[in-house]
Amino acid sequence: MTGVISDYHKLPSSERGASVALGNFDGVHAGHRAVIEAAAKVARDRSIPLAALIFEPPPRQFFRPDGEPFRIMRTVQRREALRDLGVEIIYELPFDAPMSKMTPEVFVKTVLVDGLGLQHLAVGFDFRFGQGREGDTSTLDQLAKAHGFTLSVVSPVTDGSAKISSTAIRNALQEGRPGEAATFLEHYWIADGVIEQGEQRGRTINFPTANLRLGELIQPRFGVYAVWARIEGLEGWHAGVANFGRTPTTGDRDPLLEVHLFDFDRDIYGRKIEVALVSYLRKEKKFDSFEALTVQIATDASDARQILKAQGGGALHIKSLPQPA
């Protein structure tokens, strides 16, 4: 199993000397995969380990601890995605005050060279680092030559027009375009968490829901979605419809993802659930009565069934789910 290392001091030889991909890797989208592949090619050519270097918490969270949630995937999801790409070592280094104050020169010498003993480094074309983001790829090139390691700078990856980036994915999710986010990610975006007990209003109208809070994950646009869901301990992906928002008809509260699974009747409180957003159906709105809301929920469920059936029927492993057009 891929090792996760949270320190760069006094590492054993087995955890040094790698070809390292460095970046945030939030989402592990096509642009990130290009950086990892650049490092992987060198690792194969030189028969050395392939590693990824990321910071936890991300610098954005360190500098803005009270900012809105922005993560595309949780730490565990990111580790799994990196392992799937063949990463053998994950350096998950703490981004703290001392790290934030390192100059580009000190970071390269102290962390990359003395700490990790890297042989090669791969970064994206717009990579910046060091105190005040002073360093760029030109700085890195000079420092790589001075310290005797090689460097790959990867060009932007596009979908034919726009650059694929974590920012583009976040924008797509926040604007209600999960299909566009899925195109950039090459799979549907997944919200995951532990199912908690809600107000159980859905049971009174034969639409019980599995409820979860997104926590540190980015909040997609409030509204109703066609979804696939996978539940801990159960096989396969289940079709469903979900609402993310504050449920203004029954009384505003903190944002919650409420998932109704079709043709499903199991007690799943306390289990982990993964919810893949497939299609945005409508925005969240306040209805004049609970009865009007009930009629709309039935319509939403019917619309979601049709969309999911048209995209290929039964739920499959997420990597094999029908991709957006």
pLDDT at residue 311 in the model = 77
- Number of domain units in the chain: 2
Angle at 120 between CA 118 and CA 123, to 5 degrees: 110
Q: Is 265 exposed, middle or buried (0-12, 13-18, 19+ CB in 10 A)?
A: exposed
Examine the domain organization and report whether 301 and 193 are in the same domain: yes
Q: Which helix (H) or strand (E) holds 140?
A: helix 137-147
Q: Give the pLDDT of residue 205.
A: 57
Residues 15 and 140 in one domain: yes
The pLDDT, as a whole number, for residue 320 is 47
Residues 28 and 144 in one domain: yes
* Within a domain: 22: yes
Residue 204 has a pLDDT of: 52
Residues 125, 217, single domain; the answer is no
Return the percent helix, strand and coil in the chain, to nearest 5.
35, 25, 40
Domain co-membership, 17 together with 140 = yes
If asked whether residues 18 and 150 sit together in one domain, one would say yes
- Counting every residue written for the chain, the total comes to 325
180 part of a folded domain: no
**Is 297 exposed, middle or buried, given 0-12, 13-18 or 19+ CB atoms closer than 10 A?**
buried
Beta-strand runs (E) in 69-163: 89-93, 120-124, 150-154
User: Per the domain annotation, does 80 fall within a domain?
Assistant: yes
pLDDT of residue 176: 98
Q: How far apart are CA 277 and CA 241, in angstroms?
A: 9
Burial letters 14-24, b for 16+ CB under 10 A, else e:
ebbbbbbbbbb
CATH of the domain at 108: 3.40.50.620
Instruction: Give pTM, 2 decimals.
Output: 0.89
Q: Are strands 272-283 and 223-231 parallel, antiparallel or unpaired?
A: antiparallel
Per-residue pLDDT at 235: 87
Q: Are residues 96 and 216 in the same domain?
A: no
> Residue 254: what pLDDT?
84
Please list the rounded mean pLDDT of every run of 10 residues in the chain (325 residues).
87 97 96 97 98 96 93 95 97 97 98 98 96 96 98 92 92 96 93 82 70 95 96 92 83 84 89 96 86 90 93 49 42
Q: What pLDDT sits at residue 91? A: 98
Nearest 5°: the CA angle 196, 201, 204 is 125
144 is written with which tokens?
């790589």
Containing structural domain, residue 30: 3-154
Q: How far is CA 32 from CA 22, 25, 53, 192, in A?
A: 9, 6, 12, 22
On whether both 15 and 118 belong to a single domain, the answer is yes
Are 14 and 126 within one domain?
yes
The vertex-136 CA angle with 182 and 44, nearest 5°, equals 65
Token pair of 215 as six digits: 């926590």
Residue-level pLDDT at 325? 36
Are 35 and 140 members of one domain?
yes
